[in-house]
Amino acid sequence: MSVSSVFSQNINDSNQNESSEFSDGPYIIIEKNKLIEKLIINGKVSSKILRANAYDTIFPPDKAVFNKVKKIAAISDIHGQYDLALEILINNKIIDKNLNWNFGKGHLVIVGDVFDRGNKVNEMLWLIYKLESQAKKKGGRVHFLLGNHEYMILHKDLRYISKKYKLTSKLLNLDYDELYNKKTIIGRWLRSKPTIIKINDDIFVHGGVSKDFISHSDFNIERINELMRNSIDQSKSEMKSTDFYNIYYGNKGLIWYRGYFKDNLKEKDVSDILNMINSKHEIVGHCSNKEVVSLYNNKIFGVDSSIKNGKYGEILLIKKGKYFRGTLNGKKIRFK
Ligand code: ZN
């Protein structure tokens, strides 16, 4: 990264004391022929101009269907708890102590909701961004599925951001969602991400697939992802001008559905759903449990293990068709 000029400015306002030990970033903004890196260090904003090619600025949409994958790990609802997520990933050998990819040809699936609540959202996003390219070089993959909280931020619903990000937003003089808009590196990268993917015979999606959703869509995974991507920069009123908003953003839609946990479904209902979507298992987040859980005879796995509380969390490990809880200290417990 070559730097052609560096300047910094003092922030002199009433927040001086509150913000003097405050650091955040980088946030990288794309301008016509250059990139601008914004950092907050001890309450001071520094802006650096980077070469236009210091980062990719075009991110083609991620593929969503994969076959013959031998090992998979799935984790969700990190909600800014970067340090705890690191512990889980390191102890389960997905990354090494230097935070580099350590999962070989494996696929790591982040099943949505990296944003909101916690304080280290940006750190987590940049880690996923880095691991994605490291994994690819080793024949592995990182999939970042967008959850309801990603879509909320991208649609300017800022109700759940932590206090820290209100200060970041104030110091940078940008609304929080503007830190992830189309004129930023991470914002563009997020817009290339899927909502639902299929690996081998398993579906991964943040909320889940409801009967209702299937009956209102032709359930074409690539098409669903395309529709969801296109909706990111649509206004609510545009989305609501058709039944799209109800079907895709409603409580039976893929990112908000909680039916597997709350609707008292029968095993037969779940088998029917899996048959209709031509899959054997579904891995979902969004509903918090104390650990990674299995429901309906190992048909559904819930991977939101309450990492959001910052105290404990787990990861789902799938190896040659066998399913395991990977605990915080790296113990593997098989689902029977
Ligand atoms: Zn969620």
The single-letter code of the amino acid at 141 is R
Ligand 1 centroid, distance to 286 Cα (angstroms): 4
Residue 12 has pLDDT above 80, yes or no: no
Residues 119 and 181 in one domain: yes
Look up the domain containing 14 and give its range: 6-50
Residues 148 and 287 in one domain: yes
Ligand 1 centroid, distance to 150 Cα (angstroms): 9
Residues 16 and 120 in one domain: no
Query: Residue 158 has what pLDDT?
Result: 97
pLDDT band at residue 280 using 50, 70 and 90 as cut-offs: very high
For the chain, percent of residues with pLDDT exceeding 70: 94
Total count of domains within the chain = 2
Q: What is the pLDDT of residues 183-242, one digit of tens each?
A: 999 999 999 999 999 999 999 999 999 999 999 988 999 999 999 999 999 998 999 999
Residues in Cβ contact with 218 at an 8 Å cutoff, skipping those fewer than 6 apart: none
Is the pLDDT higher at 10 or at 53? 53
pLDDT band at residue 283 using 50, 70 and 90 as cut-offs: very high
Ligand 1 centroid, distance to 270 Cα (angstroms): 20
Residue 327 falls within a domain, yes or no? yes
Ligand 1 centroid, distance to 237 Cα (angstroms): 23
Residues 87 and 176 in one domain: yes
Q: Up-side HSE of residue 69: CA atoms within 13 Å toward CB?
A: 24
**Helix, strand, coil % in the chain, rounded to nearest 5:** 30, 25, 45
Ligand 1 centroid, distance to 131 Cα (angstroms): 23
Alpha-carbon distance of 67 to 57, in angstroms, equals 29
Residues 151 and 33 in one domain: no
Is the pLDDT higher at 16 or at 124? 124
Residue 122 belongs to domain with CATH number: 3.60.21.10
Phi, psi of 43 (to 5 degrees): 80, 0
Ligand 1 centroid, distance to 249 Cα (angstroms): 12
Alpha-carbon distance of 289 to 216, in angstroms, equals 29
pLDDT averaged over the chain?
A: 94
Neighbour count for residue 259 (Cβ, 10 Å): 22
Residue 1 falls within a domain, yes or no? no
Residues 125 and 90 in one domain: yes
Query: Residue 14 has what pLDDT?
Result: 43
Q: Mean pLDDT over residues 28-45, rounded?
A: 94
Q: What is the pLDDT of residues 153-163, one digit of tens each?
A: 999 999 999 99
pLDDT band at residue 19 using 50, 70 and 90 as cut-offs: low
Q: How far is CA 216 from CA 107, 220, 243, 254, 255, in A?
A: 30, 12, 10, 12, 15
Phi, psi of 123 (to 5 degrees): -60, -45
Residue 241 falls within a domain, yes or no? yes
Residue 100 falls within a domain, yes or no? yes
Residues 201 and 299 in one domain: yes
Residue 56 falls within a domain, yes or no? no
Whether the Cβ atoms of residue 131 and residue 95 lie closer than 8 Å to each other: yes
Residues 273 and 163 in one domain: yes
Residue 147 falls within a domain, yes or no? yes
Whether the Cβ atoms of residue 268 and residue 296 lie closer than 8 Å to each other: no
Residues in Cβ contact with 145 at an 8 Å cutoff, skipping those fewer than 6 apart: 109, 110, 111, 112, 193, 194, 195, 196, 197, 204, 205, 206
Ligand 1 centroid, distance to 206 Cα (angstroms): 7
Residues 201 and 90 in one domain: yes
Ligand 1 centroid, distance to 159 Cα (angstroms): 14
Ligand 1 centroid, distance to 288 Cα (angstroms): 9
Q: What is the pLDDT of residues 289-320, one digit of tens each?
A: 999 999 999 999 999 999 999 999 999 999 99
Prediction pTM value: 0.93
Residues 142 and 99 in one domain: yes
Ligand 1 centroid, distance to 79 Cα (angstroms): 9
Copy the structure tokens of residue 7.
């300047």
Q: What is the pLDDT of residues 160-176, one digit of tens each?
A: 999 999 999 999 999 99
Q: Which residues pair with 28 in a beta bridge?
A: 37
Residue 58 falls within a domain, yes or no? no
Listed in sequence order, the DSSP H helices in the chain are 16-19, 82-91, 121-137, 148-154, 163-172, 185-190, 211-216, 221-231, 236-240, 244-249, 259-262, 267-276
Neighbour count for residue 117 (Cβ, 10 Å): 18
Q: What is the pLDDT of residues 73-104, one digit of tens each?
A: 999 999 999 999 999 999 999 999 999 999 99
> Which residues have C-beta under 5 Å from ligand 1, the single-atom ion?
113, 147-148, 286
Residues 45 and 76 in one domain: no
Whether the Cβ atoms of residue 189 and residue 179 lie closer than 8 Å to each other: no
